[in-house]
Amino acid sequence: MRVLITRKLPDAGIKLLEDAGLAITQYSEKRELPQEELIELCQSQDALLSSGPNVIDEHFLSHNRYLKGIALMSVGYDKVDLQAATNCRIPVSNTPDVLTKTTADTAFLLMLAVSRNAFYQSQSIQRGQWGFYEPTANLGQELYGKTLGIFGMGRIGSDLARKCRSYFGMDIIYHNRSRKVEVEQELSAIYVSFDDLLAKSDVLTVHAELSEQTKGLFNANAFRKMKPSSIFINTSRGGLHQENDLIEALSKKEIWGAGLDVTNPEPMSPQNPLLTMPNVYVLPHIGSATVETRDQMAIVAAKNIMAAMKDEKMPQILNPEVYRSNK
């Protein structure tokens, strides 16, 4: 059986697939795999292990309806039309859990770096601006005892809340599709309306899926409702915030700073004004990028492929309805 992998995969995942006797094709060119090429390459395959922003839509699926499974090497699945995959009876899986702590760490890193202007200060040395000591210069803000607002209290949001509560003693407020009673009990977290989240957060951090409901939600109107001293963090998907509105909100000092691991579009242009703003820290979508986590993600994705090849339920199935119909 044949598997197409859209990027060079960590060896841990490759070994599993090879030991299972699967024939692997890895796309190794140093560019994104064009959609039409992906469609064509998949036609000679039994399964797809998709790493990166490959679009799995109706068009793709109509040309590849005989795939036995699609394993994403990501927790996000906003590029996949799950309903269309279900209609074609193709199981799709993702890689939750194994990247939770690492991605929450990235949000923590951004919060701290932005609050202390760390990146800008570091670059000021290169700019030859490390002058004399001034007690009122280069001042950041502390996070101790401040309010952390979480938009999307899933695994990553909860892990970050836990870290910030124990390290900075932060008060936790959150907005989510549904109440999370266990997190409220564990962290004294308080469920608030979206408007209250905007108005009360000292740090507002985004951990929700990109969907029709969340697309562009953090726009000029939202930033205007935030505190002038607040910090906006996004490590989920760039599509949740309006980049031009964010630039304007920062320029007008409607908010104090921003930390982004995700942008819209990706990659971000090197000319983007956010990159030269003092209180902004942008990372190139490295939320889960550690050796340990990427190994685990590759292993999880490989195990999902192996299950699909044996006509068994994928352990991290996203569309379990496929197993309810006759395949």
What is the per-residue binding string for ligand DGY in 75-104, x denoting contact by CB under 6 A? xx----------------------x-----
Q: How far is the CB of 144 from ligand DGY (least distance, A)?
A: 29
What is the per-residue binding string for ligand DGY in 123-142, x denoting contact by CB under 6 A? --------------------
Using the contact rule CB under 6 A, the part of the chain among 71-79, 180-188, 204-212, 215-223 near ligand DGY is 71-79
Using the contact rule CB under 6 A, the part of the chain among 15-23, 69-77, 221-229, 319-327 near ligand DGY is 69-77
Asked if 299 touches ligand DGY (CB under 6 A), the answer is no
Query: Cα separations (Å) of 100 from 60, 174, 240?
Result: 29, 18, 19
Give residue number: closest CB to ligand DGY. Answer: 76
Burial 250-266 (b: 16+ CB within 10 A, else e): beeebbbbbbbbbbbee
- Please, are residues 90 and 69 in contact by the beta-carbon 8 Å criterion? yes
**Sheet of strand 231-234: strand arrangement:** 190-191, 171-175, 147-151, 203-206, 231-234, 257-260, 280-282
Please state, in angstroms and rounded to a whole number, the distance separating the CA atoms of residues 30 and 3. Answer: 20
Beta-carbon contacts of residue 76 (< 8 Å; ≥ 6 apart): 94, 209, 210, 236, 237
Q: Phi first, then psi: what are they for 49, rounded to 5°?
A: -105, 105
The nearer residue to ligand DGY, 74 or 264, going by C-beta atoms, is 74
Applying CB under 6 A, the site for ligand DGY has a residue count of: 6
Which of 74, 86, 102, 117 touches ligand DGY (CB under 6 A)?
A: 74
- Please, are residues 254 and 229 in contact by the beta-carbon 8 Å criterion? no
Which of 71, 172, 287, 298 touches ligand DGY (CB under 6 A)?
A: 287
- Residues with a known catalytic role: 237, 266, 285
Catalog residues that contact ligand DGY under the rule CB under 6 A: 74-76, 99, 287-288
